[in-house]
Amino acid sequence: MIFKGLLIKEWKLISRDLHAIAVLFIMPAAFLLLMSAALSEVNQNQFPQVDLQVTITESNPDTLFFETALAAILDKDNLLKTDDHDLPTLILPAGFSEHLLDNVMPALELIYPATTDRAIRQRIRAATELALAHTRLHAFLTDIGDLDKDSPMEARLLAVQQYTQAEINEQDRLSDGQINIQPNAVQHSVPAWLIFGLFFIMLPMANSFLQEQRSGVLLRLQTLGLKLPLLLASKLLPYAAINLVQFIFLLLLGLYCLPLLGLPPLIFSGSLVAWLALIISLILATTSLGLAVAGLAKTGEQALLISGGLNLILAAIGGIMVPRSVMPLAMQEFSKISPMSWALDAFTELLAGQGGLADIALECSYLLLFALLCGGLGLMLFRRRLKENQWTTTN
């Protein structure tokens, strides 16, 4: 009966805290939807659209072919002939045609506005290199007589493209060894923001404990002679249930709301037993960390700083905000200390690799060990805080 009353009390505290509800549901949902939409082209291997202006020192049939090949790669509407310093500029050197068949050519110049980001620079560089390769092959085929230099430009470009075209069928090897088509983009992006959202549970857990301490509720509970494990369980269970609701809510967003934004839906796959093991492990990890933060923070400002800062740091190094594949090797190794990294690996294994319990057993073990350590720390901090509360009240 007492335990039931404690659970009801905790639910009432949570339901009256609109800020906590926003933190736990609205903000993670916004992150999931907005970031999945913002990164949709990157995740689907679509290149960014870029404008490029071309400056030609000496105009001739070879430079015209180069422009045509470049326009076919970038889209002709993005290839401009202006003099705008705010746009990337490609300058073809003098003697461009004379050196097309040489082993070493004069360097082409690419000038970018300083604010041009790395993705656009890489896109322009790759397009320039491919157009130059097409132009040099065109010069070679024309030189040996395999191409008629008087035929239409489009026909010559098509012939050159056919020489260099290669059909590559990309597939994934699943956890059971089967070959399958590549998973869609959201199979990788949704788990990241879902995990990020679950770790927000730290803040309302800390605020709930602080509110009880300031209002004197904690002291009244102590005077009833309630054991510490009972008090902690009354706090952990409601927030574990909220984490489960969060998980289902964010998963449903991936399944049904992303298609409304023009994105592919999340495809649920993997072993049901494996999913249960992952969910339980992750919820224990998040609530145990929340318990430790609740025992550590002494003011609402500290709770916000510790929980928010810790969540962002774990996400930054764990491959949530920045994919581990683009990190330096040393940073990729360092990222393995983050529990978000373990959870993300397990999610990806289930969603993209369609794995089973054996495939995520190691990640789940790490999460459970993390939960045990954080839970132990939270228990120690709570015991100390309860003693301080009694001493402050009686003196």
pLDDT, residue 339, reads 94
Please indicate, yes or no, whether residues 130 and 213 belong to a single structural domain of this protein. no
Mean pLDDT for 286-300 is 87
The radius of gyration of the chain from alpha carbons, rounded to an integer in Å, stands at 29
Least confident of 133-137, 269-273, 309-313: 269-273
- Indicate the burial class of 387 (C-beta count within 10 angstroms; 0-12, 13-18, 19 or more): exposed
154-163 own/partner pairs: CB under 8 Å, 24+ apart: 154/68, 156/65, 157/65, 157/68, 157/69, 157/72, 160/69, 160/134, 161/72, 161/134, 163/137
Task: Tell me the pLDDT of the chain averaged across its residues.
Answer: 79
Write b or e for each residue in 126-135: b if 16 or more Cβ atoms lie within 10 A of its Cβ, otherwise e. ebbebbbebb
Please indicate, yes or no, if residue 179 is contained in any of the structural domains.
Answer: no
Please indicate, yes or no, whether residues 263 and 161 belong to a single structural domain of this protein. no
Please indicate, yes or no, whether residues 100 and 244 belong to a single structural domain of this protein. no
pTM of the model: 0.73
Please indicate, yes or no, whether residues 275 and 331 belong to a single structural domain of this protein. yes
Please indicate, yes or no, whether residues 58 and 38 belong to a single structural domain of this protein. no
Please indicate, yes or no, whether residues 26 and 117 belong to a single structural domain of this protein. no
Confidence of residue 340 (pLDDT cuts 50, 70, 90): very high
Please give the Cα distance from 236 to 215 (Å, whole number). Answer: 20
Write b or e for each residue in 51-67: b if 16 or more Cβ atoms lie within 10 A of its Cβ, otherwise e. bbbbebeeeeebbebbb
Count of domains for the chain? 2
Please indicate, yes or no, whether residues 261 and 375 belong to a single structural domain of this protein. yes
Least confident of 35-39, 147-151, 288-292: 35-39
Give helix 272-296 / helix 202-215 axis angle, nearest 10°: 40
More confident residue, 143 or 1: 143
Please indicate, yes or no, whether residues 134 and 194 belong to a single structural domain of this protein. no
CATH number of the domain that residue 65 is part of: 3.40.1710
Please indicate, yes or no, whether residues 126 and 189 belong to a single structural domain of this protein. no
For residue 20, the number of C-alpha atoms closer than 13 Å in the C-beta half-sphere is 22
pLDDT, residue 366, reads 95
Digit-coded pLDDT (tens) for 226-264: 676 777 777 788 888 888 988 988 888 888 887 887 777
Highest mean pLDDT among 97-101, 167-171, 296-300, 343-347: 343-347
- The amino acid sitting at 255 is L
pLDDT, residue 328, reads 84
Written as six digits, the tokens of 298 are 């002494």
Q: How far apart are the first and last CA of the chain?
A: 32
Mean pLDDT for 47-70 is 81
Please give the Cα distance from 98 to 76 (Å, whole number). Answer: 26
Please indicate, yes or no, whether residues 39 and 59 belong to a single structural domain of this protein. no
Query: Which strand (E) or helix (H) includes residue 56?
Result: strand 52-56
Please give the Cα distance from 110 to 123 (Å, whole number). Answer: 12
Highest mean pLDDT among 163-177, 277-291, 312-326: 277-291
Question: Is the pLDDT reported for residue 266 higher than 80?
Answer: no
Please give the Cα distance from 33 to 261 (Å, whole number). Answer: 8
- The amino acid sitting at 144 is I
Question: Is the pLDDT reported for residue 171 higher than 90?
Answer: no
Please indicate, yes or no, if residue 178 is contained in any of the structural domains.
Answer: no
Digit-coded pLDDT (tens) for 132-145: 889 888 888 888 88
Question: Is the pLDDT reported for residue 395 higher than 50?
Answer: no
Give the rounded distance of the alpha carbon of 22 from its chain centre: 21
157 contacts 65 by C-beta, under 8 angstroms: yes
pLDDT, residue 36, reads 74
- DSSP letters, 307-351, are HHHHHHHHHHHTTSSS-GGGS-HHHHHHGGG-HHHHHHHHHHHHH
Digit-coded pLDDT (tens) for 359-383: 899 999 999 999 999 988 988 887 7
**Nearest residue to 371 (alpha-carbon basis) of 184, 240, 209:** 240
Instruction: Give the percent of the chain with pLDDT over 90.
Output: 11
Please indicate, yes or no, whether residues 326 and 357 belong to a single structural domain of this protein. yes
Written as six digits, the tokens of 106 are 């004069």
Task: Give the range of the structural domain holding residue 199, as residue numbers without chain letter.
Answer: 2-43+184-394
- Residue 117: partners with Cβ closer than 8 Å, 6 or more residues away: none
